[in-house]
Amino acid sequence: MKRFLFLLPILWASATAVNGQVSDEGLRNVPTVAEVGAERLPADIAPVKAPFPMPVFKKPAFRPLTVDITKKGARAGILVTKMIQAAIDEVNSKGGGTVLVPKGTWQTGRINLKSNVNLHVSEGAELHFSGEIADYLPAVFTRNEGVELMSLGALIYANGQQNIAVTGKGKLVGPPAGSPVRKRIMTTDVIEKVVPADKPVAERVYEGENGTFVFPPMFVSPINCKNVYIEGITLENTPFWNVVPVYCDNVIIRGITVRSVGIPRGDGIDIESSRNVLIEYCTLSCGDDCFTIKAGRGEDGIRVNKPTENVVIRYCLAREGHGGITCGSETAGMIRNLYVHDTVFDDTDTGIRFKTRRSRAGGGDNLIYERIRMNLRGDAIKFDMLGSRQYVGELADRLPVRAVDRLTPAYRNITVKTVLIEKARVFIDITGIPESPASNLLIDNAEVHSKGAFKASDATGITIRNATLHITDTLMRSLGVRNVLFEKVQFKTPDNRIHMQVEEGTPKDIRFVDCIPAKPESWN
């Protein structure tokens, strides 16, 4: 193994970037916290402009019929599941309309949403969901962590419906702490080792009989639905992922607020094997990833083979969470055509995150991020493609290099443009897979304040262009990396020096063009 270490003397420049490096005008257009999120939700949906074809998104229309759940006998202090369901069934049978949850506190079990029904949770209304497993039975078809099975489904569930909505300024509150819905969940192993991939889905039933485990329900999860609209609601205390469209087409999620900090696996919004999705003006504070894109897991995900594609996320705010925007780690059906723009990550851990594992299959392609502001506890742009032995055993070990097979995932063709990173641990941190390196990453026009600048293993085709990097750790690291270009990059460090360590490669794999400092004399 060869190692090359170079010291690059810094040539200090003025605070304004030179040679067209950083576009001040572009960075001025990066939104602030005050300009995004649920509190800034406009009345209308503006046209979507994306670098790939997208449909025209419109608010759904419902018939003028409205049924108040109190007219079905709902009252405070009792379980009103049957009353809510009766109202939904009536509105559905009459061709559609609105089911009204009025101001007050209401106790309920699982709600099954049906076609042409808008479940409207009024301002001042709170739906508190039961913690008893019996209130979510019988088991329904669902997908849990990318694997199909029969279990509790979701607190608000729909399957095979069209033109459905959950709206209003009211609040949804998940099951109480310590309740069976939370305590009796599967924790023995990773899901693919518990649910047999060769068993028919109809036989993968987990209802919690005789004290056995269940799979935790999502909060709001339509599955196999078309024309889904979710607006304005606040979700708190979820038992699992919050808003999770699965196998859906034409989904709009606007102006919702999620609060799940401290809840393990408390993802905010997970788009799973769905297409034509718009997410805008949402504010998420989460116990796991905030905005997440998924497409199925391993063998079961390959069997289903449904991608997530054509997704736009704009004018959103990620607060606390493991990742501001995360792709994976379930990637089997492929994630493609994602456009995230004019979004702020404030006090989040990682900013832009890519996850997968050797056993997850699929991957991501044509992922585009533009005009993003980040104030982070962790890294700004992070690839984690190996995972840990806790979940995938020896497949998490970088070496030996494995043969590429149907379960080998790949991330490629990723563009990050016009980003302002106010604070981060490391600007770019890549852990790729030796036999399937992270490929074709372009970062163009960036102002970065971070401890470290660059560390990467098993990646190829990385370009950092038109960037100013204010860094305190002067050592950059490269392991098994090919075809890296720093072009018009200005490095600023306290001691006027920067180091580059190269392993399993040569300096020929890394080029500096029109940088400050320029490439050193010993750099061939």
The sign of the torsion formed by the CA atoms of 444, 448, 453, 454 equals: negative
Instruction: Taking residues 460-473, report their average pLDDT.
Output: 96
Give residue-wise pLDDT tens across range 95-110: 999 999 999 999 999 9
pLDDT of residue 278: 99
Instruction: Taking residues 112-126, report their average pLDDT.
Output: 98
Give residue-wise pLDDT tens across range 311-331: 999 999 999 999 999 999 999
Given a cut of 70, is residue 43 above it in pLDDT? yes
Asked if residues 182 and 214 have their Cβ atoms less than 8 Å apart, the reply is no
Q: Which residue has the tokens 């020096």?
A: 497
Given a cut of 60, is residue 466 above it in pLDDT? yes
Cis peptide before 55 (omega within 30 of 0): no
Instruction: Taking residues 378-389, report their average pLDDT.
Output: 97
Give residue-wise pLDDT tens across range 236-282: 999 999 999 999 999 999 999 999 999 999 999 999 999 999 999 99
Both structure tokens of 226: 């078309």
Q: What percent of the chain has pLDDT over 70?
A: 95
Given a cut of 80, is residue 439 above it in pLDDT? yes
pLDDT of residue 9: 37
pLDDT of residue 146: 97
Residue 102 neighbours by CB under 8 Å, 6+ apart: 68, 69, 70, 122, 125
pLDDT of residue 420: 98
Residue 77 Cα distances to 91, 104, 134, angstroms: 25, 10, 18
- Cα–Cα distance, 218 to 143 (Å, whole number): 10
Given a cut of 80, is residue 8 above it in pLDDT? no
Instruction: Taking residues 208-229, report their average pLDDT.
Output: 97
Kindly indicate the confidence band of residue 369, based on its pLDDT and cuts at 50, 70 and 90.
very high
Given a cut of 90, is residue 488 above it in pLDDT? yes
| Closest residue by Cα to residue 356 from 398, 385, 332 | 385
- Cα–Cα distance, 284 to 259 (Å, whole number): 6
pLDDT of residue 20: 46
Asked if residues 467 and 22 have their Cβ atoms less than 8 Å apart, the reply is yes
Given a cut of 60, is residue 6 above it in pLDDT? no
pLDDT of residue 498: 82
Kindly indicate the confidence band of residue 508, based on its pLDDT and cuts at 50, 70 and 90.
confident
Both structure tokens of 301: 């995900």
Q: What percent of the chain has pLDDT over 90?
A: 90
pLDDT of residue 524: 62
pLDDT of residue 450: 98
Instruction: Read off the DSSP letter of residue 95.
Output: T
Over its C-alpha atoms, the chain yields an Rg (Å, rounded) of 24
List the single range of 214-223, 429-438, 495-504 with lowest mean pLDDT.
495-504
- Cα–Cα distance, 317 to 280 (Å, whole number): 9
Kindly indicate the confidence band of residue 13, based on its pLDDT and cuts at 50, 70 and 90.
very low
Q: Which residue has the tokens 């002067």?
A: 474
Instruction: Taking residues 427-442, report their average pLDDT.
Output: 98
Tally Cβ neighbours within 10 Å of residue 463: 16
Superfamily holding 31-436: Single-stranded right-handed beta-helix, Pectin lyase-like (2.160.20.10)
Given a cut of 90, is residue 21 above it in pLDDT? no
Instruction: Taking residues 338-345, report their average pLDDT.
Output: 98
Cis peptide before 409 (omega within 30 of 0): no
Instruction: Taking residues 62-79, report their average pLDDT.
Output: 97
pLDDT of residue 115: 98
For every residue of 373-408, DSSP letters joined together read EEEESS-SEEEE-S--HHHHGGGGS--SPPPP-TT-
The sign of the torsion formed by the CA atoms of 68, 252, 356, 371 equals: negative
Across the chain, mean pLDDT equals 94
Tally Cβ neighbours within 10 Å of residue 126: 18
pLDDT of residue 10: 34
Give residue-wise pLDDT tens across range 156-206: 999 999 999 999 999 999 999 999 999 999 999 999 999 999 999 999 999
Given a cut of 50, is residue 15 above it in pLDDT? no
Instruction: Taking residues 423-444, report their average pLDDT.
Output: 98
Residue 218, helix vs strand vs coil: strand
289 CA to centre of own chain: 6
| Closest residue by Cα to residue 63 from 116, 115, 120 | 116
**b/e burial code for range 138-172 (CB count within 10 A of at least 16 → b):** ebbbbbbbbbbbbbbbbbbbbbebbbbbbbbbbbb
Kindly indicate the confidence band of residue 518, based on its pLDDT and cuts at 50, 70 and 90.
confident
Tally Cβ neighbours within 10 Å of residue 72: 18
- Cα–Cα distance, 132 to 120 (Å, whole number): 24
Residue 509 buriedness (CB in 10 A; 0-12 / 13-18 / 19+): middle
Instruction: Taking residues 130-155, report their average pLDDT.
Output: 98
Residue 223 neighbours by CB under 8 Å, 6+ apart: 141, 142, 143, 153, 157, 158, 159, 160, 245, 246, 247, 248
pLDDT of residue 12: 30
Residue 101 neighbours by CB under 8 Å, 6+ apart: 69, 84, 119, 120, 121, 122, 125, 127, 168, 170
pLDDT of residue 22: 74
Kindly indicate the confidence band of residue 505, based on its pLDDT and cuts at 50, 70 and 90.
confident
Kindly indicate the confidence band of residue 2, based on its pLDDT and cuts at 50, 70 and 90.
very low
Cis peptide before 517 (omega within 30 of 0): yes
Kindly indicate the confidence band of residue 16, based on its pLDDT and cuts at 50, 70 and 90.
very low
Asked if residues 163 and 115 have their Cβ atoms less than 8 Å apart, the reply is yes
Given a cut of 70, is residue 4 above it in pLDDT? no
